[in-house]
Amino acid sequence: MNSTLHYDVAIIGAGMSGLAAGIRLAHFGHRVCIFERHNAVGGLNSFYSIAGRKYDVGLHALTNYVAPGVKGTPLGKLLRQLRIDRAELELWPQKRSRVAFGERGEISLAFNNDAGLLESEVARGFPSQIDGFKRLVALIQTYDGFGLDAPVESAREVVRQFITDPLLEAMLFCPVMFYGSAEERDMAFRDFVILFRSILLEGMARPTDGVRRIIRVLLDKYREAGGERRMKCGVKKIIAREGRAAALVLEDGSEVTATHVLSSIGAVETERLYRGETVDDRDVGRLSFVETIQVFDRPTDELGWGDDTIVFFSTSPDFRYERPSTQVDTRSGVICFPGNFSTSPETTLKEGMLRCTCLANYDQWKNLPEETYRADKERWFRSISATVRKILPAARDDATVAQATSATDMFTPLTIERFTGHLQGAVYGSPRKNRQGTTGLSNLYLCGTDQGYLGIVGAMLSGISMANFHVLQKS
């Protein structure tokens, strides 16, 4: 057994970007294998089951939603590049979302999949800002945030040229940052453009069965194209020789070789595979989250929560997107009602669900004794629920809501680190993005989070563009 398996392309990680890259490469005849450490695919966007109930992680909604027939947008590019028929995803548009600021979320900007609603909300709530807002939107619409050479400018500085009211600035940054910024307090304008467009100008939808549908479609395409995958088989080490990734050592100790290697596991995480643990963590992201999940025995509107799909909230006008000094920062967050998409009667969720995501401090969750960890989780769960009740009062009293609750769950930065492999549970990876995807080895490239296209459509486009740029356009 001296013969080592050789692939044209080895892909590390079966998340959205790895699968998308794999589909492209296998479709054009490359021998591809995806190596995935876990038994489940999806990476940051996956699902799990408890007591027969399936929970999505990561994905609240597919952003970049546009109506059928709208062309030239990221979603359309993605579908074409992967040869996915849009009907396969069965997308149901959101009902309506909001950015809600103030102690009780009383200052509100509603938006939906028609950008006109947000514009009229800004005109209503911030009449002095509407002209600047329109000019900002015009700039965003013509700005190529996806360019491989797009410059890195401060989004705060650019946005302030158009928006002078700090409250409106905070309310625009809040959804954009929560849905993808790896950077604290500010972000690159090119990333702001991608996210602003994907959430506020295009919009949100949910596939039937949530993230499972997307994963199933991707897996089917990959299989049809002839791609291979090895599950529960992570890459332990990359052997570097003469500036190239010469071989991959797998967790079972065997070795494979590949002409090209695409890694979706993160920049620092990848570098450690060939330089060892000595790679410092300066570039590791500092932002992580907790998420609470509550399942109810009835749809959430029957508890009085109405039609909101996603609510990005901040109880203070001074919205701070940074690693908190406490375990969790309940002053801001994202509330999602997965049941509030305009589905057909057959695909309506029977149970209500409420998810709430808040910023969290990885260090303060790490190395806790098991008992303390559990107690802290319970304490923060209660605290987050209380915040949600303040921002979105239910018509029913606490006792009724408690009685209607059929299951709860919560994940922490440690859960994220364990299941995604992102150091310190940094969901959105390193604040330093690398658009070209190059690494210290000439045939090893990054795709996914740290290449820097954001959102779930962005993640898939990242895999596609790195496969195109580094492999398909060169062969």
> Measured from the CB atom, is 373 or 469 closer to other proteins?
469
- Where along the sequence are the contacts to other proteins (CB under 8 A)? 27-29, 68-69, 71-72, 76-77, 79-81, 83, 85-86, 468, 472-473
Which residue's CB is nearer to other proteins, number 367 or number 473? 473
| 249: alpha, beta or left? (left if phi > 0; alpha if psi -120 to 50) | beta
* Least spacing, CB of residue 70 vs other proteins, in Å: 9
On the 0-12 / 13-18 / 19+ scale of CB atoms within 10 A, 374 is exposed
Indicate the burial class of 208 (C-beta count within 10 angstroms; 0-12, 13-18, 19 or more).
middle
Residue 77 C-beta: closest distance to other proteins, Å: 6
Q: What is the 3-state secondary structure (H, E, C) of the chain?
A: CCCCEEEEEEEECCEHHHHHHHHHHHHCCCCEEEECCCCCCECCCEEEEECCEEEEECCCCECCCCCCCCCCCHHHHHHHHCCCCHHHHCEEEECEEEEEECCCCCEEEEECCCHHHHHHHHHHHCHHHHHHHHHHHHHHHHCCCCCCCCCCCEHHHHHHCCCCCHHHHHHHHHHHHHCCCCCCCCCEHHHHHHHHHHHHHHCCEEECCCHHHHHHHHHHHHHHCCCEEECCCCEEEEEEECCEEEEEEECCCCEEEEEEEEECCCHHHHHHHHHCCCCCCCCCCCCEEEEEEEEECCCHHHHCCCCEEEEEEECCCCCCCCCCCCCEEEEEEEEECCCCECCCHHHCCCCEEEEEEEEECHHHHCCCCHHHHHHHHHHHHHHHHHHHHHHCCCCCCHHHHHHHEEEEEEECHHHHHHHHCCHHHCCCCCCCCCCCCECCCCCEEECCCCCCCCHHHHHHHHHHHHHHHHCHHHC
Closer residue to other proteins (CB): 250 or 467: 467
Question: Which of 146/313 has CB closer to other proteins?
Answer: 146
**Least distance from C-beta 85 to other proteins, angstroms?**
7
Please, which residue, 27 or 60, has the CB nearer to other proteins? 27
Rounded to a whole number of angstroms, the minimum distance from the CB of residue 72 to other proteins is: 5
Nearest distance from C-beta of residue 461 to other proteins, angstroms: 10
State the minimum distance, in angstroms, from the CB of residue 71 to other proteins: 4
- Contacts of residue 124, Cβ cutoff 8 Å, sequence gap at least 6: none
Please, which residue, 20 or 353, has the CB nearer to other proteins?
Answer: 20
- Whichever of 8 and 169 has its CB closer to other proteins, that residue is 8
What are the two backbone dihedrals, phi and then psi, of residue 237, each rounded to the nearest 5 degrees? -160, 145
* Residue nearer to other proteins on the CB measure, 86 or 389: 86
Closest separation in Å from C-beta 147 to other proteins: 12
Based on CB atoms, which residue is closest to other proteins, 90 or 184?
90
Residue 227: CB minimum distance to other proteins, A:
15
Q: How far apart are CA 460 and CA 464, in angstroms?
A: 6
Least distance (Å) between residue 224 CB and other proteins: 13
**Between 43 and 458, CB nearer to other proteins:** 458
71 or 282: CB nearest other proteins? 71
Least gap, CB of 464 to other proteins (angstroms): 8
**Least distance CB 57 / other proteins (angstroms):** 30
